[in-house]
Amino acid sequence: VGFESVRMPQADDPPARVPYEAEGIYALGVPRLFFTTHQSTVRTQDIIRAQPRLFFFSSFVSEEYQPFCQDFGPIDLGGVVRFTEEVRSYMEDNRLQHRRLVYYSATDSASITNSVFLLCCYLMLEHGFTPERAVARFERIENLPIEPFRDATFEVDTFGLTILDCLRGLKRATSLGWFDRVVFDAEGREELYEKPEHDISPMTPKFVAFATPKDDPKDERYSARKSINHQAPFRRLGVTDVVRLNSDALYRDSVFEQTMGFKHHVVEVPDCSAPPARQVERFLNICDDSGEGVVAVHCLAGLGRTGTLIGCHMIKHYGFTAAECIGYLRAMRPGSVIGRQQHYLELIAECEWKGNLPGVSDEALQKIIKDAWSAGRNAAVQCISQAATLLRAGSNLSALETLSGDEDVEEEGAAKAGGGGVTLALELQTASQRSNASTETRGCSFEQSEGGEEAR
């Protein structure tokens, strides 16, 4: 394999589009670093023997994600930091300074998607790429099998979280000072997460998410993580307030207040749902009243309702989009925000606020629904409409009842109203029925490198 020097691209240069093929080798926009996919371990061994001048490497980090249901990523920030350090160690190794480094992934879409996410994080954190520029290095590879991340359920995916969403969330958190890979304590986080004593995840400087404690050893529904086990780690994390979201309390609330000295609050939200506007207001008031203290929040698993309410605070106070927020939350605590809660956060991002009370207007709701239909996200419309009922003042459902006008917004199979309008209620009923029914071997070839070299 021979290389020749070419011009280093500028940051705003559009990368040349190239076709994807397994075992093709693709430049990542920085000198000496490339990406490829291999179909099997045997092929990897054959390719390494055939290309001794190249250094092929992979990482177990891309395989670390432990799914809850049909979810497969993204890799959490502890993994991102370890991966970045691994790649940097290879790039800086004196023994490899005159060799091209080729990261290889398996060819299935989940492996490729997680590998691309990790490589994009490396390009951002080590080389200062913007999220858009990092993703562009892979978007130009036509038909590279990348798929959106999904929520931790077995239901039909209605949201579609992209790598770019996750990178933008990480970028925003970094700009806020929430994440710094140099001081990020990956080992400390692992000591708190999914342990027999507790299941705790620091999320932002303001919030800690955790799974419900349980003090009754006879209750076999959930792990026996006693309330008192949380006292020491919460003290270290600066927690002053604890918020319980689940109505089925598995411990005595007084334990946190009288025994441990934390303020304890109950903001009950039904399981697998999103909070009504007044519960959002109450939660945000608690956060405001806590001053500089950290608020620890839990439901049953500390994923869905917990992530949703933390997300409301992130969107209101720090300008996260719903997708950025969800991407960041899942990188901090895998599985966060589930099902229609994703669309609820879309609405929160468009809400008008009266103090800490959110409300979605007819105009904002119509726009979100139209955008969903225009993007072909028909299954999302029902979730959006259901979430909207929690955020509307009184019982005014005019935006849900009718969407009139000259524009013809139609979902396949739904009943059309006369006069060119669309009766949204019928559309949503049809979508609901449909949703319910649906739930039941060649040599290496290098492309032109824009990172300063070419291989033939």
pLDDT digits (tens, 9 = 90+) for 63-72: 999 999 999 9
Question: What total number of domains does the chain contain?
Answer: 3
Closest CA to 224 of 211, 239, 233, 237: 211
**Torsion angles phi and psi, residue 444, rounded to 5:** -70, 140
Read off the pLDDT band of 1 (50, 70, 90).
very low
Q: Is the pLDDT of residue 412 over 70?
A: no
Instruction: For residues 340 and 371, state if they share a domain.
Output: no
Q: What is the average per-residue pLDDT within 223-246?
A: 95
Q: Is the pLDDT of residue 255 over 90?
A: yes
Read off the pLDDT band of 385 (50, 70, 90).
confident
Question: Token pair of 99, please?
Answer: 């060799």
CB–CB of 445/428 below 8 Å? no
Domain assignment present for residue 452? The answer is: no
Instruction: For residues 344 and 370, state if they share a domain.
Output: no
Q: Is the pLDDT of residue 450 over 90?
A: no
Q: What is the average per-residue pLDDT within 52-62?
A: 97
Amino acid 343: pLDDT: 95
How many Cβ atoms from other residues are within 10 Å of residue 409's Cβ?
A: 19
Cα–Cα distance for residue pair 350/344, rounded to 1 Å: 10
Instruction: For residues 10 and 132, state if they share a domain.
Output: yes
Last residue of a domain, one of 331, 349, 367: 349
Torsion of CA 422, 425, 431, 436, to 10 degrees: -170
Read off the pLDDT band of 350 (50, 70, 90).
very high
The one-letter code for the residue type at 32 is R
Catalytic residue among 299, 312, 325, 383: 299
Read off the pLDDT band of 220 (50, 70, 90).
low
Supply the mean pLDDT for the chain.
Answer: 85
Which three-class secondary structure state does DSSP give residue 242? Answer: strand
Could you give the maximum distance between any two Cα atoms of the chain, in Å?
A: 74
Tokens 């020491």, residue?
Answer: 232
Active site residue 312: no
The one-letter code for the residue type at 141 is I
Lowest mean pLDDT across 151-160, 199-208, 299-308, 365-374: 365-374
Q: Is the pLDDT of residue 80 over 90?
A: yes
Instruction: For residues 213 and 132, state if they share a domain.
Output: no
Alpha carbons within 13 angstroms on the beta-carbon side of residue 25 total 28
Its domain, for residue 374, covers: 358-439
Amino acid 15: pLDDT: 77
Closest CA to 386 of 412, 368, 374, 404: 368
Give whole-number Cα distances, 418 to 21, 406, 429, in Å.
Answer: 50, 11, 18
Amino acid 451: pLDDT: 40
Read off the pLDDT band of 372 (50, 70, 90).
confident
Residues forming beta bridges with residue 38, ordered by sequence position: 106
Last residue of a domain, one of 322, 349, 376: 349
What percent of the chain shows pLDDT beyond 70? 81
Instruction: For residues 339 and 201, state if they share a domain.
Output: yes
Domain assignment present for residue 50? The answer is: yes
pTM (2 decimals)?
A: 0.84
Q: Is the pLDDT of residue 211 over 60?
A: yes
Instruction: For residues 116 and 250, state if they share a domain.
Output: no
CB–CB of 134/127 below 8 Å? no
Read off the pLDDT band of 14 (50, 70, 90).
low
Q: Is the pLDDT of residue 310 over 90?
A: yes
Give whole-number Cα distances, 47 to 32, 52, 99, 168, 274, in Å.
Answer: 18, 9, 15, 35, 51
Instruction: For residues 320 and 207, state if they share a domain.
Output: yes
Q: Is the pLDDT of residue 32 over 90?
A: yes
Amino acid 147: pLDDT: 97
Instruction: For residues 193 and 243, state if they share a domain.
Output: yes
Cα–Cα distance for residue pair 255/214, rounded to 1 Å: 11
How many Cβ atoms from other residues are within 10 Å of residue 124's Cβ?
A: 22
> Domain holding 122: CATH number?
3.90.190.10
Q: Is the pLDDT of residue 423 over 60?
A: no
Question: Token pair of 346, please?
Answer: 């879309």
Instruction: For residues 269 and 320, state if they share a domain.
Output: yes
Q: What is the average per-residue pLDDT within 20-29?
A: 96
Contacts of 7 (CB under 8 A, 6+ apart): none
Give whole-number Cα distances, 453 to 41, 58, 122, 181, 337, in Å.
Answer: 28, 22, 20, 29, 43
The one-letter code for the residue type at 104 is Y
Rg (CA), the chain: 24
Domain assignment present for residue 226? The answer is: yes
Cα–Cα distance for residue pair 320/327, rounded to 1 Å: 10
Residues forming beta bridges with residue 102, ordered by sequence position: 34, 56
Instruction: For residues 400 and 324, state if they share a domain.
Output: no
Question: Token pair of 309, please?
Answer: 């309410």
Tokens 């300063």, residue?
Answer: 452
Q: Is the pLDDT of residue 187 over 60?
A: yes
Read off the pLDDT band of 13 (50, 70, 90).
low
CB–CB of 109/32 below 8 Å? no
Instruction: For residues 101 and 219, state if they share a domain.
Output: no
Last residue of a domain, one of 325, 349, 373: 349
Question: Token pair of 38, please?
Answer: 């291999």
CB–CB of 442/50 below 8 Å? no
Amino acid 72: pLDDT: 98
Q: What is the average per-residue pLDDT within 264-274?
A: 93
Q: What does the chain come to in residues?
A: 456
Which one is predicted more confidently, 211 or 378? 211
* 113-149 pLDDT tens trace: 999 999 999 999 999 999 999 999 999 999 999 999 9
Amino acid 223: pLDDT: 66
In eight-state DSSP terms, residue 256 is I
Instruction: For residues 267 and 182, state if they share a domain.
Output: yes
